[in-house]
Amino acid sequence: MIDVWILGGYLGAGKTTALNELLCGGPIAQANPALIINEFGKIGVDGALVHRRELTRFEINKGSLFCICTKTDFLKALSDIAGSGKHQAVLIEATGIAEPVDIENFLTEGPHAGYFRLRGNLCVVDAAHFTQVAAYLKPAVSQVCWADGMIINKCDLVDAQQLKMLRTVLETMNLRAPVMETAFGKIKPTFLNLITHRCHSENLVSCAPEQIFAVSFSTNQAVSEEKFFNVLEKMKSSILRLKGNVAFDSGPVFVEVVCQSVNRRPVIQDISTQNNAATAFTVIVWNTDKDFLCRQFEECWPSMPLKIENVKPECCS
């Protein structure tokens, strides 16, 4: 049997960092895992951030893993993994806005039936921002309620009293799941021994969470740094997540936005190579107009065509 682990959690909680930690050592790393990377955006940023480049990976970038519109792609990935005979584990990183449901029925469909067993649904919780987003965004709550194990990440960003209050909140939502506290996604391999999967009965959702959509942008024109950050400031109450390379007139950087916090670091070359564009990023927003959002970013590079891709397929529009 091939062990299947799901790594979930809200936008910016540190799932990709945690995934890289799991691939550094422990039972999953030793099982030649296949990776399924699920993003709510056309540009595969998270896949480019995975350290172990030699691992087999499948990227599903057209919607949520737990949405009916991605089922065919997911089943195809499972069939390929089972057919290869190379892997003893599958590690799935779900998009941060996923409304989790049980995927056990996926594991028993088609020619790969009997090859997989779901070991656990791990939820990465952002210690610094969870209570802010949980108040108004349902997926953040659902991910905790469905978890078989919770990893409270970014504990270095809060004090002991804040952490104690967060644990109390999480326990009221899900008392059954074991909890570990960490920073920088450092999951102890022994924590996995505490995980027991609990089956659920809800069906796949038929659309993305209400009022949430993603748009991916790419261009080879230099981007006005001043105008770009003016847009981020203007749209900060609507932007849930932004990540990708941006080639400013002053030089290229990787830009990341989490809960109105903006960070920069060196460019991720694979992102630009895969998309054949110096600038390639995805922005996930809520409670705003898509055309208005696009117009704001278009003003950052007005003299050349901009490639814009809306992530939502027809069933999610």
73 has pLDDT over 70: yes
Q: What are the residue ranges of CATH 3.40.50.300 in the chain?
A: 2-194
Give the lowest-confidence range in 6-10, 49-53, 224-228, 293-297.
Answer: 49-53
- Token pair recorded at residue 122: 């791990």
Tell me the average pLDDT across 70-81.
86
6 or 136, which is more confident? Answer: 6
- Which of the given ranges, 136-140, 250-254, 285-289, has the highest pLDDT on average? 250-254
User: What's the CATH class of domain 212-316?
Assistant: alpha beta
313 or 130, which is more confident? Answer: 130
Confidence of residue 304 (pLDDT cuts 50, 70, 90): low
106 or 158, which is more confident? Answer: 158
174 or 38, which is more confident? Answer: 174
pLDDT digits (tens, 9 = 90+) for 226-266: 999 999 999 988 888 898 999 998 899 999 998 788 999 99
Q: What are the residue ranges of CATH 3.30.1220 in the chain?
A: 212-316
Q: What percent of the chain is modeled with pLDDT above 70?
A: 86
Query: What pLDDT does residue 314 have?
Result: 39
Tell me the average pLDDT across 74-78.
88
Tell me the average pLDDT across 131-136.
78
69 has pLDDT over 80: no
Query: What pLDDT does residue 71 have?
Result: 77
131 or 29, which is more confident? Answer: 29
Mean pLDDT of the chain: 84
Q: Does domain 2-194 have CATH number 3.40.50.300?
A: yes
pTM exceeds 0.85, yes or no = no
268 has pLDDT over 50: yes
111 has pLDDT over 80: no
Confidence of residue 313 (pLDDT cuts 50, 70, 90): very low
Query: What pLDDT does residue 227 have?
Result: 93
Query: What pLDDT does residue 30 have?
Result: 93
245 or 41, which is more confident? Answer: 245
